[in-house]
Amino acid sequence: MKRMALAWIIGAATAALTVTCSVYDRSLLVYSTDSDAAADATPDVVSEPDAIASEDVDAANPDVVEEALADAEAEAAACDPCVEQGLVRPPCAPAGSDPATELDPIVYAVRTLRVGLSPKKPDDWRTIGLDMDCLLTAIGGTPSMCQGSGSSAAVLEDGLLGRDNSFGRNVGGMIRLLSQVGALPYDLEEIWNYYFTTGRQGMLFELRHYSGEADDPRVWLALYASAGTRDPITHEAVTTKWDGTDEWSILQTSLAPGNQPLFVDDSAYVSGNVLVAHMPEGLPLTFTADGSLFEMALARSVLALELSADRQRVTLGTVNGTWYRTQALAAVDAYMAQAGLCSDNPIYVQGKKVIENAADIRADLQDAPQLPCNAVSVGIEISADRANLGPAEAPPPPKPSQCGDAGAADAGTD
């Protein structure tokens, strides 16, 4: 407990002591939104780590704090060498055996999200996500694990502390521009938040085999996509109450035969109150706006979810992953066709070009500087509240293409 508590000091003391190394630096992951729909759901701004027992460290004593920082950094670097490069990473698994006692299963539903698409916050992408490639890539595109295909090496630029979020930087840049010039008649991130906060669609986490302690070396976590909240008797769509009693549907696309969860990490862990999990390939992330469906499928993903002291909330969470470039092109094709942006539309042409050039990482996270980048890095920040699992149901049919047979061009291959 003491060692993990010391590690959390890094986030709050980094600026004061000019320390560049950090593990999941929560002080830089501050949630904010201008969305009226999500305003009531906005978590408190986080600038300090959770209270640390006085017997662990005297935070008012600079010498003790500096010593604690050095100890915590040494421990973090021992389990993750990338930390020594000043990169923001999830905490490592705690030592020790699996506790004998465990809580009943806990379900969380995503309540708010921050993706880096809002035209009101053009630099948001820089503070969303984690480092995934163990590199701090500058605006010039170096160093990089692969060769970018864009005309400018700037598309490869990482966010703060090496955060890999090309989706927020490049795709988000295009969306922000379209919003600013009026070509996109709404703030896409604001609309996505509205659908999540009102229970019109959802993302659920189910946590099992958890002791409830700050450190648990092995827990079980599943992720489900949801079509939204349902009345427990009629199963009709209802608006969320966010009081812990909401029942959320589970999309059948998130289930394996026998209605078992398809996306599970049975070797997840909790370290210093942060739940860390790695999900199987194809992790689905689905977003709706104006009836049009935007779907991602992450090849490699890591979840870092900070749990509240009473375990009622995910106060601050990050979902990071790699998205195959070919799949991203196909998804954008489908989304724009549903929205009526056809192949003869300049927005369609520009959108495809942005996706083609946004690949900044290898999908398998293997260092291959001689090979082309074949995936787009994605970072999403969330908060989530307690909820309940509802019945399984088929996904709603996609909105028909507004472009006809000739509307969507072939996504191409890598």
Q: C-alpha distances in angstroms, 276 versus 216, 247, 268, 412?
A: 11, 25, 6, 34
DSSP structure string for 108-158 = EEEEEEE-S--TT-TTGGGGSS---SS----TT--S-SSB--SSSGGGG--
Instruction: Find the helix or strand (DSSP H, E) in which 314 lies.
Output: strand 313-324
Confidence of residue 17 (pLDDT cuts 50, 70, 90): very low
Report the predicted TM-score, pTM, of the whole model to 2 decimal places.
0.81
Residue 115 lies in a domain: yes
pLDDT tens digits, one per residue of 391-412: 999 988 888 998 875 444 444 4
Domain that holds residue 240: 100-393
Q: Which two tokens stand for residue 329?
A: 């092109």
Residue 305 lies in a domain: yes
Q: Which two tokens stand for residue 8?
A: 């959390």
- State the pLDDT at residue 68: 65
Pairwise CA distance, residues 98 & 90, whole Å? 20
Residue 42 lies in a domain: no
Average pLDDT in the 268-280 region?
97
Residue 33 lies in a domain: no
Residue 71 lies in a domain: no
- State the pLDDT at residue 36: 39
Confidence of residue 45 (pLDDT cuts 50, 70, 90): very low
Residue 228 lies in a domain: yes
pLDDT tens digits, one per residue of 283-325: 999 998 777 888 999 999 999 999 999 999 999 999 999 999 9
Residue 5 lies in a domain: no
Q: Do 283 and 290 form a contact (C-beta atoms < 8 A)?
A: no
Residue 380 lies in a domain: yes
Q: Give the residue among 411, 318, 341 at the shortest CA–CA distance from 174.
A: 341
Pairwise CA distance, residues 39 & 194, whole Å? 10
Could you give the percent of the chain with pLDDT greater than 90?
Answer: 56
Total structural domains within the chain: 1
pLDDT tens digits, one per residue of 367-392: 999 999 999 999 999 999 999 999 99
10: buried, middle or exposed (CB in 10 Å: 19+, 13-18, 0-12)? buried
